[in-house]
Amino acid sequence: MAKVYNYEFLPSEDSECETFWEWAQLHSICKDYLSHIPNGGARNKIVGAKLKKHGVRPGFPDYFLSFPCSGYPGLFIEMKRRKGGVLSKVQKEMIDNLREAGYKVVVAKGWEAAAEAVQKYLGEL
């Protein structure tokens, strides 16, 4: 029998990102080297066109830790909801490209998975 989830009580991806950012600000390396890449979200056409001219690319992961470690030049994190979040085709292609370029890329289901990915990347776990 298929599992049925009540998504009403699950945090949104935005909430997961906010909590992850709060956690990251308590971590010395993240405080200095972690950045959110604002590619998603609803925008009006003028802002969307301007961002596209600035180089916003669809499918790029949500976060980048620009700290070389564990044999990688950096860590990208694509944040998803704990349950129900899925990668788009464009996201899968971008993740494959980044991995081929030598980066560590993690798809994190919730802020705790993202925090754990950072700690593993930095050799803390």
Give the torsion sign (CA, 104, 109, 111, 112).
Answer: negative
| Contact between residue 98 and residue 65 where contact means Cβ atoms under 8 Å apart | no
**pLDDT, tens digit, 9 for 90 and up, residues 96-110:** 999 999 999 999 999
32 lies in some domain: yes
Q: Which two tokens stand for residue 36?
A: 């959110």
Domain carrying residue 33: 20-121
What CATH number does residue 52 fall under? 3.40.1350.10
Is-contact 41 12, C-beta < 8 A? no
Number of domains in the chain: 1
- The average pLDDT across 15-40 equals 91
Predicted structure pTM score: 0.86
Between the alpha carbon of residue 102 and those of residues 73, 74, 85, 96, 116, the distances in Å are 7, 9, 25, 10, 20
In a domain, 44, yes or no: yes
Assign residue 18 a region (left: φ > 0; alpha: ψ between -120 and 50; beta: otherwise).
alpha
What would the pLDDT profile of 38-48 be if each residue is shown by its tens digit?
876 667 788 87
The verdict on residue 67 lying in a domain is yes
Read off the pLDDT of residues 56-80 as tens digits, 9 standing for 90 and up: 888 899 999 999 998 999 999 999 9
Tell me if 24 is assigned to some domain. yes
